[in-house]
């Protein structure tokens, strides 16, 4: 049942699922949520929504919710329900004991892209000001960290360049490694509208996603590349642009630097479509035609997703796309740009808020004396000037014994991170794991303290979507567990002897605005007045910045970077002859913690393996058979679905279910610059499971 009766009041808030950041009116009768109605004035969605945002909120009142804090000495002990006071005192005491025994760097925290900016800010402050180290990382490590790195190197700012409405002026859409109809449905509708009006589409994806051919839409080119060869494809585009005289010379001369040396690099014959045809699997003529279309078809807009970032060369591909946009002058106005489609609701925000181990809020490196000084003055404590541990470093250090305690805010690392066997071993080796979450998730199985989290309906704060839009998340109801998550963080900090206190989430945003130049004009009062703003929002741009790099790049001149293609070490072999790639489906969300607990959505009850009929036939596999999927790190079983969406030699699965668990299979390979895992390329074998 979706509609429970006539509402008596409503609250405007923001969807807690994907990075589109749709606004909704949550309609209530008394304290009961009746329905979610897409908000017509929502800056990101203009009255539209998808099935998840509209109907998948039942998890917030699911009986699985953790409602009281719980503690146990050992993970083999049963949980003991305790008061908030005991849970917080216990957590603080154990963190201090561990630090005094093993050193200041022996503890750390992981933040979530599912929590608010204010909650993330509070955690990174606790780590820096109270733990006294920089061991804080965000789950964006495993999705869009290459976006942050690559766009910072080239443009000077770790964020997408456009607002969503910009797509309405695009003439050519280059969609790389993203499946918006499943991952970002409301933005996909906007893109489809533009395509139906006549914009041309180039899809770069090993899998034939829906947008390649859907009602009234047919991609001009579907470049069905071999997984792991994005850099070769993007370089080939740039090679065609440079060698066929398609460079926007006046833009490059006025706005960019290091062009000449890059031009020499990219002109090399090894980057030509003909040279990379055998690597990418894309016919040279088709690649050449697609490159010409992007460069000459009018406004060229690049949109991309995790099919770009989750590779050993994710950062290189991001820089390659930035090179391409600069070389063709496709940056700084409506209809163009380089646009990451962020996965979770607050990926952008969790990165903005300084929860990377090397960056303070606003992407200022911890070695930046001026930036550190701002926080040292305000927080009254020194801040380390050296980066802390990234998530994979934390796991490695846990296994070698130098890292002993981890605070995990709203992130299920025991299901979502690659090579789960390694993650489980690391978690099991820790002396203290504190999980703050709605549910007793897979990570909580390794926890000693379980602190109840709040759902988006109870939160007060902001999320920042993929277009840098800061949206208010207003409490539709009081926290069912009695505390906002930022209050819990403050109380742990206080119990550890540090005076951290705020009266409200609004006060935290005021501190963010005070200390972060790109947020200087943001306040809850301003957001309530104007609806939402896109950062930078400050004195120069009081109403925000929908299009970045209009007159000059954030770093001054846009910088061309040499992007050498280096093949991944993950290759198909005689033992593991197929390549597995992973993704999402519309009705599920990430590890499924929310969507699996929502009756309203027709969710798929299990992950399935898409396999080309030829690969199935040679293995004696038929549609619906159970198959064993194995890689050099693990093995799982799931059901096969034969599909010609996949090319021969490549198979595909999702990662929504803990039982089938695709991350049992994925490896430790990661992006050279950021350690973002290479979820998209795993050599596997598929065998029919013969029932006894």
Residues that bind ligand SF4 (CB under 6 A): 15, 17-18, 20-22, 45, 49-50, 52-53, 184-186
Count of CA atoms in the C-beta half-sphere (13 A) of 253 = 3
Q: Which is nearer to ligand SF4, 20 or 578 (CB)?
A: 20
Which residues are registered as beta bridge partners of 461?
473
> CB of residue 646 vs ligand SF4: minimum separation in angstroms?
25
Q: Is the peptide bond before 536 cis (omega within 30 degrees of 0)?
A: yes
Task: Decide: helix, strand or coil at residue 233.
Answer: helix
> CB of residue 182 vs ligand SF4: minimum separation in angstroms?
10
Q: CA 678 to CA 670: how far, in whole Å?
A: 5
Q: How many Å is the maximal CA-CA distance in the chain?
A: 71
Q: Which is nearer to ligand SF4, 182 or 460 (CB)?
A: 182
Residue 159 Cα distances to 169, 394, 452, 545, angstroms = 20, 26, 32, 12
**28's tokens:** 């209530």
Q: Which is nearer to ligand SF4, 18 or 512 (CB)?
A: 18
> CB of residue 165 vs ligand SF4: minimum separation in angstroms?
15
Task: Please calculate the CA angle 569-572-575 and round it to the nearest 5 degrees.
Answer: 120
> CB of residue 458 vs ligand SF4: minimum separation in angstroms?
17
Q: Which is nearer to ligand SF4, 53 or 228 (CB)?
A: 53
Which residues are registered as beta bridge partners of 35?
27
Q: Cβ(251)–Cβ(326) under 8 Å? A: yes
Q: Which is nearer to ligand SF4, 128 or 190 (CB)?
A: 190
Token match 């154990």: residue?
94
One-character DSSP codes across 550-587: SSSBTTBSEE---------S----SSS-EEEEEE--TT
> CB of residue 49 vs ligand SF4: minimum separation in angstroms?
4
> CB of residue 56 vs ligand SF4: minimum separation in angstroms?
8
> CB of residue 179 vs ligand SF4: minimum separation in angstroms?
13
The edge-to-edge listing of strands for the beta sheet with 300-304 is 221-223, 200-204, 172-176, 300-304, 338-340
Q: Which is nearer to ligand SF4, 40 or 571 (CB)?
A: 40
Q: CA 271 to CA 265: how far, in whole Å?
A: 9
Token match 């109870």: residue?
458
CA dihedral 536, 538, 543, 548 (to 10 degrees): -30
Count of CA atoms in the C-beta half-sphere (13 A) of 613 = 3
From the CB of residue 237, how many other CB atoms can be counted at a distance below 10 Å? 31
> CB of residue 349 vs ligand SF4: minimum separation in angstroms?
14
> CB of residue 52 vs ligand SF4: minimum separation in angstroms?
4
Token match 């962020």: residue?
342
CA 37 to chain centre: 26
Q: Which is nearer to ligand SF4, 88 or 466 (CB)?
A: 466
> CB of residue 589 vs ligand SF4: minimum separation in angstroms?
7
Q: CA 581 to CA 655: how far, in whole Å?
A: 11
Q: Which is nearer to ligand SF4, 45 or 630 (CB)?
A: 45
Q: Which is nearer to ligand SF4, 202 or 211 (CB)?
A: 211
Using the 8-state DSSP alphabet, how is residue 662 labeled? G
> CB of residue 255 vs ligand SF4: minimum separation in angstroms?
33
Long-range CB pairs of 72-76 (<8 Å, 24+ gap) are 72/448, 73/448, 74/448, 75/428, 75/433, 75/445, 75/446, 75/447, 75/448
Which residues are registered as beta bridge partners of 409?
436
Q: Which is nearer to ligand SF4, 317 or 471 (CB)?
A: 471
Bridging pattern class, strands 461-464 and 364-365: unpaired
Q: CA 633 to CA 462: how far, in whole Å?
A: 39
Q: Which is nearer to ligand SF4, 22 or 234 (CB)?
A: 22
Q: CA 540 to CA 379: how far, in whole Å?
A: 27
Q: Which is nearer to ligand SF4, 52 or 559 (CB)?
A: 52
Provide Rg for the chain, Cα atoms: 24
Q: Which is nearer to ligand SF4, 345 or 669 (CB)?
A: 345
Q: Which is nearer to ligand SF4, 227 or 305 (CB)?
A: 305
> CB of residue 484 vs ligand SF4: minimum separation in angstroms?
22
Q: Which is nearer to ligand SF4, 18 or 360 (CB)?
A: 18
CA 681 to chain centre: 18
Q: Which is nearer to ligand SF4, 48 or 288 (CB)?
A: 48
- Closest listed residue to residue 476, CA positions, set 1, 96, 33, 8: 33
> CB of residue 144 vs ligand SF4: minimum separation in angstroms?
16
Bridging pattern class, strands 405-409 and 461-464: unpaired
Using the 8-state DSSP alphabet, how is residue 332 labeled? S
Q: Which residues of 468-501 are buried (b: 16+ CB within 10 A; e: fewer)?
A: bbbbbbbbbbebebebbbbbbbbbbbebbebebe
Q: CA 352 to CA 498: how far, in whole Å?
A: 24
> CB of residue 599 vs ligand SF4: minimum separation in angstroms?
17
> CB of residue 594 vs ligand SF4: minimum separation in angstroms?
10
Q: Which is nearer to ligand SF4, 185 or 340 (CB)?
A: 185
């Amino acid at each position: 049942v979706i509609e429970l009766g006539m509402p008596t009041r409503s609250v405007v808030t923001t969807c807690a699922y994907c990075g589109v950041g749709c606004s909704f009116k949550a309609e209530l009768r008394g304290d009961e949520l009746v329905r979610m109605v897409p908000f017509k004035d929502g800056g990101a969605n203009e009255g539209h929504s998808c099935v998840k945002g509209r109907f998948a909120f039942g998890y917030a009142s699911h009986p699985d919710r953790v409602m009281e804090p719980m503690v146990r000495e050992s993970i083999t002990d049963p949980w003991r329900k305790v008061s908030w006071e005991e849970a917080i005192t216990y957590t603080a005491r154990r963190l201090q004991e561990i630090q005094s025994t093993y050193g200041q760097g022996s503890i750390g925290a992981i933040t979530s892209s599912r929590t608010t900016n204010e909650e993330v800010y509070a955690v990174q402050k606790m780590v820096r000001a109270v733990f006294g180290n920089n061991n804080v990382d965000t789950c964006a490590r495993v999705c869009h960290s290459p976006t942050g790195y690559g766009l910072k190197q080239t443009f000077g700012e770790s964020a997408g360049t456009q607002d969503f409405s910009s797509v309405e002026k695009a003439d050519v859409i280059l969609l790389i490694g993203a499946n918006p109809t499943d991952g970002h449905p409301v933005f996909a509708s906007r893109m489809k509208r533009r395509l139906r009006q006549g914009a041309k589409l180039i899809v770069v994806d090993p899998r034939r996603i829906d947008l390649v051919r859907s009602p009234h839409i047919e991609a001009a080119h579907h470049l069905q590349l071999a997984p792991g060869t994005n850099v070769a494809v993007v370089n080939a585009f740039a090679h065609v642009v440079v060698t066929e005289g398609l460079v926007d010379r006046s833009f490059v001369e006025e706005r960019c630097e290091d062009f000449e040396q890059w031009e020499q690099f990219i002109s090399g014959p090894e980057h030509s479509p003909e040279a990379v045809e055998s690597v990418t699997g894309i016919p040279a003529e088709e690649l050449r035609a697609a490159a010409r279309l992007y460069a000459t078809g009018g406004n060229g807009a690049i949109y991309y997703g995790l099919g770009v970032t989750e590779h050993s060369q994710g950062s290189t591909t991001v820089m390659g796309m930035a090179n391409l946009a600069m070389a063709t002058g496709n940056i700084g106005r409506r209809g163009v740009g380089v646009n990451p489609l962020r996965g979770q609701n607050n990926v952008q925000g969790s990165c903005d808020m300084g929860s990377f181990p090397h960056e303070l809020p606003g992407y200022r490196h911890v070695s930046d004396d001026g930036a550190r000084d701002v926080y040292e003055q305000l927080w009254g404590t020194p801040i380390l000037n050296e980066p802390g541990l990234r998530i994979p470093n934390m796991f490695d250090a846990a296994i070698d014994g130098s890292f002993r305690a981890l605070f995990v805010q709203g992130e299920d690392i025991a299901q979502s991170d690659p090579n789960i066997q390694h993650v489980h071993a690391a978690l099991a080796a820790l002396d203290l794991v504190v999980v703050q979450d709605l549910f007793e998730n897979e990570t909580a199985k390794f926890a000693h303290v379980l602190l109840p989290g709040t759902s988006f309906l109870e939160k007060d704060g902001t999320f920042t979507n993929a277009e840098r839009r800061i949206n208010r998340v207003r409490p539709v109801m009081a926290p069912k567990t009695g505390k906002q998550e930022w209050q819990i963080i403050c109380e742990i900090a206080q119990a550890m002897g540090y005076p951290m206190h705020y009266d409200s989430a609004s006060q935290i945003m005021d501190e963010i605005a005070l200390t972060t130049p790109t947020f200087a004009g943001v306040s809850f009062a301003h957001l309530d007045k104007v609806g939402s703003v896109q950062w930078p929002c400050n004195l120069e741009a009081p109403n925000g910045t929908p299009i970045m790099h209009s007159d000059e790049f954030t770093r001054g001149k846009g910088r061309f970077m040499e992007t050498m293609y280096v093949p991944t070490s993950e290759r198909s072999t005689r033992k593991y002859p197929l390549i597995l790639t992973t993704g999402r489906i519309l009705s599920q969300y990430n590890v499924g913690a929310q969507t699996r607990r929502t009756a309203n959505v027709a969710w798929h009850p299990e992950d399935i393996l898409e396999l080309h009929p030829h690969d199935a036939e040679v293995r004696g596999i038929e549609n619906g058979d159970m198959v064993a999927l194995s890689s050099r790190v693990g093995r799982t079983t799931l059901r096969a679905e034969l599909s010609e969406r996949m090319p021969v030699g490549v198979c595909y699965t999702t990662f929504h279910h803990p039982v089938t668990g695709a991350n049992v299979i994925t490896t430790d390979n990661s992006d050279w610059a950021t350690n973002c895992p290479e979820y998209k390329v795993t050599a596997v074998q598929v065998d029919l499971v013969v029932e006894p």
